[in-house]
Every structure is written in C-alpha cells, then in structure tokens.
Structure 1
Amino acid sequence: MQRSAAGDRGTAIPSLYPSRTSLAADLCYTHRVIEDPKWSLVTVPHLTELCLQHIVHNFEKNPILDRLLPEHLRKVLDRLSTSLPLAVTANLISDEDYWKRCCTERWQVCAIANHGGSWKRMFFERHLENVLKRFIPNITDPNQVLELIPLCKDYVQKLEVDQFLPPVKVDQKEKRDDIFNRGSDLGFSEVSVHHYDLGVLITALPHLKELHLTYGVKDCGMNFERNLFNITYQDCCNLAVAVKMCHSLKVFKLTRSKVDDDKTRLLVRNLLDHPSLVELNLSHNLIRDKGARAVGKLLNHSRLEILDLCNNHISHRGAEALAQALAENSTLTSLNLHHNYVEDGGGEAIGRALLTNTTLKSIHLGSNNLAESTAALFSWVLAQNITLTSINFSCNHLGRIGGKQLLGGLVDNKALTEFDLRLTEVGQETEYLIHQIVWANREAARLGSLQHPPTQTL
C-alpha cells in the first residue's frame, strides 16, 4: 500500500501549487494584457447610444430630428457641431440652446436683449451683418448674400451694418493672398466707390423692422481717404427704392455717411406716406436747410414719432421749416437738433410751434448758439405747454436774464421732468431753483405712476 501510494503520488496526484514555469507565464500574460493599447474595460454602449452617435456623426448627410423621442432629441442637439452648414440647420433646428452655442462660440459678447431675446435671431442677424461688412464689390461673389436669403429671411428683424467696403485696387507689388484681410491691408484707390446694393436683400426680408447703416470703412489705418466715408448718389438711389418697398420697416438710421441735401431729398421722396416708419435718424451728416425743408415736408406725410438730425449744418431757415411742420404735426414725440446752427431765429420759430403743438415730449436744442430771446419765448412755452417732459438747452448762451425768464415760466409747470441747462450761463442759483422744480415734477410723476400703474392689454 505504501509503495502503491508512493507510486501514485509520483504519477497520478496533481500538484496543489503551480509550477514556477507556469507562474512566470501567467505573469507575462497579465503584464501583456495591461499594456495592450487596444484593451479596454469600458462597457460596450447600448444600442440606443450607438444609434445616437451615428445620427450625430452623419447629421449633415442625413439630418434626423422629427422621428426622435424627446430624451433622444435632447442628446442629439447637445452633441451637434456648431460648424454644420446653415443649409442643413437653418430651417430644421429651432432649439435655442443649440443656437446659443453657435453664438457664444463665435462671438465673445452676445447681447441677446438687442435681438428680441432669441439666440437664433441673433445668430442670423449678426451672421448676415458680418457678410455685408466683408462684401467687396466686383470681388466678392454676390451669391454669398443671395444664398443666405432663404435661410435667414424668417429670422432677421434688425440689421446694423457700420461698414461698407468700396471697390478696391490692390497694389500689385504688395498683393495680399487674402483679399478679405481688409482695413490697413487694403489699397483703396480713387475709383468709383459705389457699394453693395442692398435692394435685393432688403425687399426679400419680410420681417425687417430696423435698419441701421453707416457707409464707411473701419480700421483703415494709414490708408484713410475721405471717399471711403461717403454714400454715393447711386447708393442712395438704390437704398431709397429698397426702403420704400420695405413696408415692415419701422426704424431707419443712416448716420455718419455724408448725406447732403440732394440725398436727403431723394430719401424723403421715397419715404413719403411710408406705412410703418416711426423713427428716422440722419444724424452726423451734411444736411443743410434744403434737406431740412424736405424733412419738414416728411413730417406731415408720415407717421414719424422720433426724428434725429443731430450734428448737421441746419441754420435758422431750416429750423423754421421744421417748426412750421411741427406746428401742424400730431405724431412726433421726440426731436433732436443738437449741434446745428439754428441760432435764435430757429429757436424762436420752434418755440412758437410748441405753443400749439400737443404731441412733442422731448426736444434737444443743445449747442445751437441760442441766446436770451429763445429763452424768453420758451418761458411762454413752459407756462402753456403741458406735453413737453424733456428739454435740453446745454452748451448755449442763455445768460442770467434768460435763466430767470425760464424760471418764471416753470412756476406753474407740472409736466417737465428733465431740463438740461449745463454750460448755459444762467447762474448757479437760477439753475438750482429750476432743478428743484423739475425734481418735484419728477417725484410727483413717479408717485402718480405707482398709484395708477398702466394697464396691460392682453
């Protein structure tokens, strides 16, 4: 039995411990598996997850959204690239979170309040603005703009374009590889500077309500030339016709573009009886008396509520024409003639108009070389007019006597809540007393608004 056991122990009974050779082999295998770059302990994704990944990766060729469950739709939208072609995403994706990513990844500052609180609207408005700012006539393909129209026409309500590039002539000795690196890199020449014609675009935007334009070149550096900051007569013709056809337009601003009398009259002819225009801003231009007379005619053939002619060259004759229209007008609530040359002749004419006008609430006559006689007439306005709430006479020469006359007119006035008399030489005491009355009116108006809040109509 012992011999048999010994014999069996040598041949049949397996060892309880691995041999040194097998242990070394196992260690080598384990070490190889850990170092294998193809080895992964991640669980294989669910089939649903794999399908969603496939949809995201192939979205440009096969956009699928309408057949997804809500929870799956959210995952796809959160993963979609913001660089997808607009032809794919524009009319398919309405999700605001997606367009928010598109905006924040492209622009550092995103003032969504300026775009009706909509990220999608903001993206298309700013994208279209950027295309227009970079457009170079005779070089840029017009299809870059035309192809955007069917994609953005339902979302664009406001355009603010503060640059229009003219045709350029590139110096062959210093020719740049990229013509779109404009500004100081472009060689502007004294050639025709007609700009991009907005006519086709504006008339194709059915919801356009605001149009803010400045014909100039930003960051032109040492290549500054006067003709780079000028709207040509042909530009003005094209723009006037387009604005006339844009019946949804409510706000039109054409500033810092050297708009003179001829261009103003051209614009006015096309704005007469415009069905919806309520605000016109032609500030910082070259408008003189003839242009002012044309605008006066517009006042009585439109629904304008806000008119800004700040920083032009309007003298007392132009102001008299505006005053004549103002006396008969029943829609205008704000008039800005700051920094013109109306002097006392124009100031007195406007004052007489305000003795009968019952709609104007705000008037700015700062920096117009006004003196005591204008102040004397406005003392009557303050005593009789119950509509004006804001007057700006800053940077004039009203003098101490003029200040006392204004103070006398304010004694029984309960409507005026803003009165700017800085640098008018009326004297500190008079200015203090006037401000006390205005402050009391403002407090009374505030308390009245708290006691009788405006009703909201559904």
Structure 2
Amino acid sequence: MKGLQILSQEQLAKSFEAIAFAPEDRLTAAAANALFNELPVSCAAAVSSFVSSETYYQRACSQLSVLGCRREEHGLSFKRMFFEIAVQDLLQKSTTLSQAVAENIFTLKLSACPHDFPLDEVCAQLPNLNRLDVKYDLESSSHVSSLERLPRALNVSSNLVSLTLQDSFLTDNDVATMFDNGSCPNCTIMNLNLAHNNITSTGLGVVVSHFLAPPTSVLCSLDMMGNKIDSQGGSLLGRALATNESLLSLNLRLNHLGDDGGSALLDCLANNVTLRYLNLSANELASLSANALVNMLESNDSLSLEAVIITSNPFSDEDEEAIKSCDRCFLDVRGGSSPGRQEMFLGKSIMPF
C-alpha cells in the first residue's frame, strides 16, 4: 500500500498545472525533486513559469522525436532545448507565447513555414532571439505576405546574429524586398545562409552592398550554395572582398561562376587578409581560375586562407598539378579527399556563436 507522502506527491503532480507555484520555494529539495519526477511532461509549456528544474526538462526532451539534437546547441540548457524544439508545434496551436516560454527561445527554427505565417508578430515576442532559421513553403502559393512580414521580423529582432533562409525559392526581387529597403540591421548579423534558392548575381549584389561593402560589416559567414550566380557575381564578390575585413567563410558551391568569374574573384583575394574558408566546387572553373588561385596563394603574404575546396571543376591535369604544388593552405581539388576538414570550417570552430 502506498504511503501518504507518495499519494500526496502523486496528487500534487496531477493537479500542479491548476495550482502552479515554484516548488523550490514551498517544498523541501527532496519533495520538489519527487514532484518533478511525477510531473507530466505534457504540461511543460503551462508550468514553465514555475518549473526551472533541468532534470524535469531533460525528461521532457527525451519525449521529443527529434534525432541528432544536442544540448550543446541550446546553451547547455535542457529547458531552452525543450522549448526551442517544441516551439514549432506550439506555434501551430497559437502564435502567442507565454513570457516564460518566449524568454527561453534563442533559436527559432521553422520548416515548411506557410506564406501567411505572422513571423513578425512571433519575433516581436522573443527578446533573446539571436538565430532565425526559416524555410518557407512558397513553391505552390503566392508569398507576397510572407515577404512583407519578413523585413518587419528582422527589424524587431535587434539581437539577431544568424539568419538562414535556404530552400525557400527566393528570387532576386525577394532579396531586394528583404534587404534593400534598409529594414534589416546589418550591424549584428554574422552568419547569413541563403543556400539553394533562385538568386542570381543581381540578388547577390544586394547582399554584397548590404552586408559586405559597408566598413561596419560584421558578417563572418556567407553561404550562397546552389543558386544561379554567374561571372558577374564573382566580380562583385571579388571587389568587395578586396577590402572587406570581416568575412571568414564563403560557400559558393554549385553556382555558375565560370572561369571568368572564378578568376576575377580569386584575383581580388590577393589583397584579402581575413577569409579562412572558401568553397568554389562545381562552378565550371578552369585554367584561368587555377592560375589566379596559384598566383593569389603565392603573392598574398598576409593570407589567412586555411582551406579552399574546388572539387568538381573541369581542371586539366596541368592545372591540378599546379594547384597541388601550393602548400600555403589545405586544397581539395577534385575527389573530396578530406570531407571532415570541410565540415570543420563550416561548423562552430569558425563561428563565434
């Protein structure tokens, strides 16, 4: 037969959502821990103002069906981890979040975001938001309303450090809508990911003028992989990077720079002193780009480059030999000989957040 204390704990756990209070203030440590062990994780959002126990939220996180989630990516806090993962489900029920939940959201990640989602209203509730990752579901519907809301969302997110808008069918006009009207602050964003969209060199020009050209630029990482950037884009980026002193990582894999665009970009890097990682894979580069790369590596005495990934380009055997003869940095020319090295430069080791 259960003792009175155990029965009391079970009853308190069942009714805690209705009579919520801070257990640590009203119970002994042992009694509070016993309550947390009994408290249903299904009421986590409702009791977030009163429960701060990491043990409770660790148990709640174990109920989430998200693979590969690590506490290190959520400030080493199980409570923050729980709400940053669960917020997508919470927002499907209501776009109004309690203050206790909102204060634990530093990273907002939304997949298949509908075109009419009130992103600006949600971001306005998140005082600690520093990473925004939105994948719009735009292919089958008009997205005018979403792109009107996005600049407003960026404007109210004054602490934003990382912005990811990949796989969202964004065009040059969309990029202009988001950034060219001055609503997006460039003074805080250090990581910009616009990979796998429909952005050409025209849209890249907007990104360059907003995030790389100003002397106050703080952008550290730019990912434009899988877009439609041609030789003009290579020239634009080259001119900006000749003087830019903030960018550490640039990913242009799977674009259309061509040999002219690649060589124009690499020629300008002869004066760059900060870039550490560069990916120009699958850009139709050839001898002009190979020569520009070798000349840049040999002439830049202040070179900071640590890795250049240029696989899947139609270099001749002579081009490859010339590139491989350089030993100023790690060079992956064709076969992806060190994939782990590429992941290191795309990962947190290069980013300060």
1:84-103 to structure 2, matched below 5 A, reads: 84=43, 86-87=45-46, 89-103=47-61
Question: 8 Å contact 1:82–1:101 — kept in the other structure?
Answer: yes
Residues 419-451 of structure 1, C-alpha deviations (whole Å, 9 max, x = no match): 111169xxxxxx9xxx9xxxxxx9xxxxxxxxx
Give distance in 2, aligned partners of 1:85 and 1:361: 43
**Pairing of 1:378-389 with structure 2 (within 5 A):** 378-385=293-300, 386-389=303-306
**Of residues 313, 326, 330 in structure 2, which corresponds to 1:396?**
313
Pairing 1:343-382 to 2, within 5 Å after superposition: 343-382=258-297
Following superposition, the deviation at residue 107 of structure 1 comes to: 2.5
Cα deviations by residue, 1:323-360 (Å, 9 ceiling, x for unpaired): 11111101001111111111111111111111001000
Q: Structure 1's 235 and 108: CA in aligned 2 closer, same or farther, altered over 3 A?
A: closer
Distance 1:76-1:329 versus aligned 2 partners, 3 A rule: same
Which residue number corresponds to residue 62 of structure 1? 19
Whole-Å separation in 1 of the counterparts to 2:10 and 2:228: 64
Retained in 1: the 8 A contact 2:9–2:38? no
Deviations 1:269-315 (A, max 9, x none): 24665231100000100101211111121212331000000011111
Residue 105 of structure 1: CA displacement? 2.4
Q: Which amino acid aligns with 1:198?
A: L
Q: 2:111 maps to which residue?
A: 162
Aligned with 2:207 (options 277, 287, 295): 295
Structure 1 CA distance, aligned partners of 2:62 and 2:317? 55
Calculate percent identity across the aligned residue pairs: 26
Matching residue of 1:199? 120
Distance 1:215 1:273, change over 3 A: closer
- C-alpha separation between the residues in 2 aligned to 1:204 and 1:338? 36
Structure with higher RCO (Cα < 8 A, 6+ apart): 2
Secondary structure class of the residue paired with 1:280: strand
Q: Compute the displacement of 1:206 (Å).
A: 1.0
Where does 1:370-449 land on structure 2 (aligned, <5 Å)?
370-385=285-300, 386-408=303-325, 410=326, 413-414=327-328, 416=329, 418-422=330-334
| Cα deviation, residue 122, structure 1 | 1.6
Q: Following the alignment from structure 1 to structure 2, what is the Cα–Cα distance between the partners of residues 131 and 62? A: 22
Unaligned runs of 5+ in 2: 342-353
Matches within 5 A, 1:214-363: 214-216=135-137, 226-227=139-140, 232-269=143-180, 270=182, 273-298=185-210, 299-301=212-214, 302-363=217-278
Q: Distance in 2 between matches of 1:273 and 1:83?
A: 38
For 1:51 and 1:339, locate their aligned partners in 2 and report how far apart those are by CA, in whole Å: 63
Give the aligned residue type for 1:274.
Answer: N
- 1:145 partnered with 2:95: yes
Of stretches 103-112 and 393-402 in structure 1, the one that deviates more from structure 2 is 103-112
Deviation at 1:51, TM superposition (A): 4.1
1:17 aligned residue: none
1:122: which partner in 2? 81
Structure with bigger gyration radius: 1
CA distance in structure 2 between the partners assigned to 1:102 and 1:373 by the alignment = 56
Q: Give the deviation of 1:255 after TM superposition.
A: 0.7
Instruction: Tell me how far apart the structure 2 counterparts of residues 84 and 272 of structure 1 sit (CA, whole Å).
Output: 36
Contact 1:160–1:212 (Cα < 8 Å) also in 2: yes
Q: Deviations over 1:151-182 (max 9, x none)?
A: 311100112212124xxxxxxxxxxxxxxxxx
Q: After superposition, where does 1:31-70 map in structure 2 within 5 Å?
A: 42=1, 45-46=3-4, 48-64=5-21, 65=23, 66-70=25-29
Residues 60 and 403 of structure 1: is their aligned pair in 2 closer, same or farther, counting only changes over 3 Å? Answer: closer
Number of aligned positions between the proteins? 330
What is the Cα deviation at residue 367 of structure 1? 0.6
Give the 3-state SS of the residue equivalent to 1:83 in structure 2: helix
TM (normalized to structure 2)?
0.86
Amino acid at match of 1:72: A
TM-score for both structures, normalised by structure 1: 0.67
Larger deviation, residues 376-385 vs 112-121: 112-121
| Counterparts in 2 of 1:369 and 1:145: CA distance versus 1, 3 Å | same
Q: 2:27 is aligned with what amino acid? A: L
Q: 2:62 aligns with which of 104, 120, 123?
A: 104
- Asked if structure 2 preserves the Cα contact closer than 8 Å seen for 1:311 and 1:340, the reply is yes
| 1:129–1:161 contact (8 Å) kept in structure 2 | yes
- In the alignment, what sits opposite 1:21? none
1:52 Cα deviation from its structure 2 partner: 3.4
Where does structure 1 lack aligned partners over 5 or more consecutive residues?
1-41, 136-140, 166-193, 218-225, 425-430, 436-441, 443-458
Aligned partner letter, 1:232: H
Residue identity matched to 2:140: N
Check conservation: 1:60, 1:85, Cα contact below 8 A: no
Other structure's SS at 1:227 match = coil
Aligned alpha-carbon RMSD (Å): 2.4
Q: Work out whether residues 152 and 183 of structure 2, in 8 Å CA contact, stay in contact via their aligned partners in 1.
A: no
Does the Cα contact within 8 Å between 1:149 and 1:205 map onto a contact in 2?
no
Matched-pair contact (CA < 8 Å) for 2:260–2:288: no
Quote the Cα distance in structure 1 between the aligned partners of 2:118 and 2:245: 35
CA contact (8 A) 2:204 2:229 kept: yes
